[in-house]
Amino acid sequence: MPKADLVVVANRLPVDRIEDERGEPAWRRSPGGLVTALEQVMKTVDGAWVGWAGKAGLTVEPFEFDGTQLVPVSLDEEELESYYEGFSNGTIWPLYHDVIATPVYKRSWWDSYVRVNRRFAEAAAEAVGEGGVVWVQDYQLQLVPQMLRELRPDVTIGYFHHIPFPAYGLYSQLPWRRQVLEGLLGADVIGFQRVADAGNFQRSIRRVLKFTTKSDSITIPQPDGTSRTAVAKAYPISIDAHSFIELAKDPAIRDRAREIREQLGSPSKVLLGVDRLDYTKGIRHRLKAFGELLVDGKVKVGDVTLVQVASPSRPGVEAYQDLRDEIELTVGRINGDYDTINHTAIRYLHQGFPREEMVALYLAADVMLVTALRDGMNLVAKEYVAVHTDNRGVLMLSEFAGAADELGSALLVNPHDIDGMKDTIMRAIEMPESEQSRRMRSMRRRVLENDVERWGQKFLADVEAFRAARTRRGED
Ligand code: GDG
């Protein structure tokens, strides 16, 4: 396999394994935002992507897909339980989302996390060319930067953290807090969603490792008495706004949006929630606020409908099974009390949909409800804004989602304040078109200017600066 100049390392490869028409295994590009984000960058360089192929026990040799080398890392059933569902999604995910659910600290999960991170680091070390760049993605791989640095000191390393980084008071619970920080500090550039996340990270560095930080820079003492510098700062991720706008212009999708409203019984207002079924997303709080508005008689079935898409997520993790039960009980109760033969209060869909249908739903919705209790960014908020080319529609956005830093013209809410949420839902429903337009215009400007391509360019430009400095040192 030729060595790559840029290697992306992520938990998942950017492809899904499917069966073609003849029943033969084949690969299809997966729809995620990260894949789209990096597609452009990868096309212009000799790129490779290291990641899990999505099926336990599957061992596949590296192969080329659309001009990129894909390097599958194999994970068996046990590792998926301990590294992925266990340490990543049962320890780190709840801890980093402000312990909304209780993190579980299990030593066997940690051991597996170390082992699997090493496997990813070795695969990346193998794939990258002399003096190349490796870009590590997200919380499942926090140890990879340092492991890789030890294997390949010639390589420049970036790491991007897609979820929040918690305040020190919470982070310090982690029994392996030192090892994780040392793992991340193996990178030259450590990117976060919000300025506050970068600040939390730097504070943990000062408290746990006693290293000094100044502005975005961290000074890391080296064994030989010298020191090196790493940068930790915010690079808010975004969406491929133009591809969403293209879909929003498609007459078939616009027709579908009209059809959705008709099929809901033509209510005067459609409210929408789109989330992975995850306890961080505040779906229960949203349902509570909406349910109380029905009880209070402030909204009437037939007049207002809430569509809630909750795409299936992490069914192997117990907290997610419990959450699903709770949400479905609540939806069933509300609908049981308020539905009529021809209208529903909440159209609940525990399903994934093609992107075209998601855009039709966004277009059909008068109000988008993003009520996360904690969220790294929340791309749904940005997607809703991007497709409303007519500047109609209202975004209600949790102040605990990273997107709130950029989308200050949304109706910002504290999802824990149910009365506040109820008032804001009513304000959204009743908002005059002139105000909708003023707010939407300003949000769209932000999203269109700072799209995902720009995000990738900014991050990689900072990584390149480190690579250039390394080359200069090498030449001295
Ligand atoms: C993590 C961080 C951060 C959802 N259901 C369907 C579907 N989606 C798409 C949405 C959106 C994406 O999935 C979800 O992105 P979010 O940002 O809302 O949330 P996470 O999955 O939690 O992502 C988050 C993100 O990483 C990026 O850094 O923003 O904070 O938690 O694009 O549209 N897409 C389709 N069908 C569905 O049913 N096609």
- Residue found by looking up tokens 């996340």 in the block: 197
Q: What is the ipTM of this complex?
A: 0.99
Residue 6: closest CA among 65, 50, 36: 50
Q: Is 272 in the pocket of ligand 1 (CB under 6 A)?
A: no
Q: In a 3-state reduction of DSSP, which class is residue 313?
A: coil
Residues in the chain: 476
- 408 backbone dihedrals φ, ψ, rounded to 5°: -65, -15
Cα(42)–Cα(353) distance, integer angstroms? 27
Q: Which among 379, 383, 397 is the best mutation to test ligand 1's pocket, defined by most ligand atoms within 8 Å of the CB?
A: 379
Give the pLDDT of residue 221: 96
- The Cα–Cα gap between 301 and 304 comes to 6
> Average pLDDT in the 335-354 region?
96
CA dist 372 and 351 (Å) reads 19
Using CB atoms within 10 A of its CB, is residue 300 exposed (0-12), middle (13-18) or buried (19+)? middle
pLDDT at 104 (0 to 100)? 97
Catalytic center residues: 162, 375
Q: What is the mean pLDDT of residues 181-189?
A: 98
What pLDDT, on a 0 to 100 scale, did the predictor assign at position 13? 93
Phi first, then psi, for residue 469 (nearest 5°) are -65, -40
For 56-68, b/e burial (b = at least 16 CB within 10 A) is eeeebeeeeeeeb
15 lines ligand 1 (CB under 6 A): no
Q: What is the pLDDT of residues 237-279, one digit of tens each?
A: 999 999 999 999 999 999 999 999 999 999 999 999 999 999 9
62 three-class SS = coil
User: Of all protein residues, whose CA lies closest to atom 30 belonging to ligand 1?
Assistant: 376
Residues 437-466, mean pLDDT to the nearest whole number: 96
CB-CB contact of 171 with 204 (8 Å): yes
Asked whether 81 lines ligand 1 (CB < 6 A), one says no
Do residues 244 and 359 lie in contact, with contact meaning Cβ atoms separated by under 8 Å?
yes
- Give the per-residue pLDDT at 315: 86
Which residue lies with its CA nearest to atom 18 of ligand 1? Answer: 378
Q: 307, 270 in Cβ contact below 8 A? A: yes
- Digit-coded pLDDT (tens) for 143-160: 999 999 999 999 999 999
* Predicted pLDDT at 431: 98
Please state, in angstroms and rounded to a whole number, the distance separating the CA atoms of residues 37 and 303.
39
Sign of CA dihedral 352, 355, 361, 367: positive
Q: What is the mean pLDDT of the chain?
A: 95
Ligand 1 pocket mutation, candidates 276, 357, 362, criterion most atoms within 8 A of CB = 276
Q: Tokens representing 37?
A: 């984000």
Banded pLDDT at 409 (limits 50, 70, 90): very high
Q: What dihedral do alpha carbons 240, 247, 383, 135 form, nearest 10°?
A: -20
Query: Lowest-pLDDT range, 55-64, 93-102, 216-225, 227-236?
Result: 55-64
Distance from C-alpha of 50 to C-alpha of 302, rounded to nearest angstrom: 50
Asked if 54 contacts 25 with a C-beta cutoff of 8 angstroms, the reply is: no
Flag the least confident range among 29-33, 379-383, 401-405.
29-33
First and final CA of the chain: distance in angstroms?
32
pTM as predicted: 0.96
pLDDT value, residue 33: 64
**C-alpha span between 415 and 369 (Å, rounded):** 10
Q: How far are the Cα atoms of 35, 36, 361 from residue 29, in angstroms, in the given order?
A: 8, 10, 23
Label residue 237 left, alpha or beta by phi (over 0 means left) and psi (-120 to 50 means alpha).
Answer: beta
Q: pLDDT-derived band of residue 32, with 50, 70 and 90 as boundaries?
A: low
Ligand 1 pocket, 379 CB below 6 A? yes
pLDDT at position 163: 96
Q: Collapse the DSSP code of 249 into the 3-class scheme (helix H, G, I; strand E, B; otherwise coil) and give the result.
A: helix
Name residue 274's beta-bridge partners.
309
State whether the beta carbon of 194 lies less than 6 angstroms from ligand 1: no
Residue 99 has pLDDT above 90, yes or no: yes
Percentage, residues of the chain above pLDDT 70: 98
- State the CB neighbour count (10 A cutoff) for residue 238: 25
pLDDT tens digits, 287-311: 999 999 999 999 999 999 999 999 9
Q: Rounded to whole angstroms, how far apart are CA atoms 273 and 292?
A: 17
Percentage of residues in the chain with pLDDT exceeding 90? 87
H/E segment holding residue 385: helix 379-387
- Kindly give the residue spans of alpha helices, DSSP state H, lying in 172-264: 177-184, 195-204, 241-249, 251-263
User: Is the pLDDT at 35 greater than 80, yes or no?
Assistant: no
Nearest to 9 by CA among 96, 150, 116, 109: 116
Could you read off the pLDDT of 428-441 as tens digits, one per residue?
999 999 999 999 99
